[in-house]
Chain A
């Protein structure tokens, strides 16, 4: 195991940012730390890098106990959310920094910087100042800078957070390809579930200072540990005390199945290729159903119509939160709904 975090607790004053967090991250993989804003993702990453010291717990990197090690001794590459470029140094000198402080011979530094700039497609910008680069180029430079010291793990804090959607998408694919090329154990923070599902080999869901679930994108999507994970990875609705995906709700115009619940259609919205139907069950539950446009047309749905709703066979669902306040205390493993 490349990074082994055990029972880490971190407080800022009275506020508990990380609450007894344990997680192991395998070698050579691309792992995403996913969670809502303020959940403790950056704090966890910074604890791993040694930029923040934990109040309790231990961090092992590649088998060595790094808990008390200074950041410069951990051999960790860190890429900051806002790049943290060295403004007074050229692109090449930025990339060379880690090698220069290690007193690597000049010729070797030049060679390595050249290779890295090639890798991140910034060769022609070597002599520019960072202020003359675009956001995406700056981020790639920061990545090259972190890779220069051949870190045993690469930590990226929302690497594409400050970029527009298109560049984000490009860089995301590029990161995946880069990772397949370089194979350094990589952990990146994101609050964009699409980014995590698309790029990562493994996802760690962090919320409220705790790890909610660890798993591959498929595992998380198909077997969410609780309603929080389920809700964070995609749209959800509730039906009969269970939380499930809106496209997993079946809508029929007559009473068919036993478990079906009677409801009144309150709204029909056509958005692009799909149609979303809002309905209220006789028990007073608001349910969202998503179906294809064609399917909606054959059903001839209109507002005020009575319909019957049930979970599709094999649909993934978890128990709905009981209380009003988030309800994340209720841990109920996902089970396919009996039909």
Chain B
């Protein structure tokens, strides 16, 4: 730690607080203020609007599946990356970070291209059997999984690396099978990292906009998630409703932040 004089320290502190305030606290605060500008009327009106309720339900559904799939694959891929040697491991590791650097819009377009019903590998076949990927729930879940892919893995990998495989080897030598070792030893050791990764994925999934907008087709009342509804409300000059819906999304984020904050001490 560099020793600095008191005025410098105060200046730095002021700068940091000012920056975060101007960028985050003030805008979000305004949004909350607008939501409650005329008491609870806007909020109740929004919450009783079947369009909004449907969108929230769809968001919950997409989030549930995306987080669940991401959890299973995230933990599996983490185990693979840390515990096994195989050709192409570094490539896989690099690919996992792609969602962090690629714009969600691009992700949406790519998925649309690959899985649409007219060309692509399985789109037409599945379509012929009445199963639709694109412009429906499956593609929305896929897009959300894509953007949230690194979140579980990047949490779990360092913890797995740190704990090493000593305990797993001990379990094996004591007679535990591979699944027993995973459930009884590995998973309990990484549980906080997993929970942390899930919470981050959850927040990311709830807030996803660009990728979902493209692959869902944005059909009102059918494939519109909460974020898409906010945009539509805003464009239709229903600012109040847009603010109120945004407020609900903020509540979810805050809940996630609270969970993370509560977990942090447990992460050492």
Contacts and interface: CB of A to CB of B under 8 A. Distances in A.
Chain B associates with chain A: yes
Interface of A: 49-51, 70-72, 74-78, 80, 82, 84-88, 97-98, 100-102, 142, 145-146, 148-149
B184 A101 contact: yes
B3 interface: no
B188 A88 contact: yes
Given A72-B173, A84-B166, A97-B174, 7 more contacts: A51-B173, A71-B169, A78-B170, A101-B174, A101-B177, A142-B170, A146-B173
22 contacts: A70-B172, A71-B169, A71-B172, A72-B172, A72-B174, A72-B175, A72-B177, A76-B173, A80-B169, A84-B166, A84-B170, A86-B170, A86-B171, A86-B185, A97-B171, A100-B184, A101-B176, A101-B184, A102-B175, A142-B170, A145-B174, A149-B175
Contacts of B180: 101
A86 B173 contact: no
Contacts of A71: 169, 172-173
* Interface bin, chain B: 10 to 19
B189 interface: yes
A100 B167 CA distance: 16
A285 to B, nearest CB: 48
Interface in B153-196: 166-167, 169-177, 180, 184-185, 188-189
Given A82-B166, A86-B167, A77 B184 contact: no
Nearest to A49: B173
Closest 6 CB pairs of A and B: A98-B174, A84-B166, A78-B173, A84-B170, A101-B176, A88-B188
B107 to A, nearest CB: 37
Contacts of A80: 166, 169-170
Nearest to B189: A88
Contacts of B166: 80, 82, 84
Contacts of B173: 49-51, 71-72, 74, 76-78, 146
A142 B171 CA distance: 11
Nearest to B187: A88
A97 B188 contact: no
Nearest to A51: B169
Contacts of B170: 78, 80, 84-86, 142, 145
Contacts of A101: 171, 174-177, 180, 184
A261 to B, nearest CB: 53
A48 B75 CA distance: 31
Contacts of A88: 188-189
B174 A146 contact: yes
B2 to A, nearest CB: 34
A149 B172 contact: no
Contacts of B188: 88
A56 B174 CA distance: 25
B191 to A, nearest CB: 8
A85 B166 CA distance: 8
From B169, B173, B188, name the one whose CB has the most chain A CB atoms within 10 angstroms: B173
A72 B176 contact: yes
A84 B176 contact: no
A76, A78, A84, A87 interface centre (most CB from chain B within 10 Å)? A84
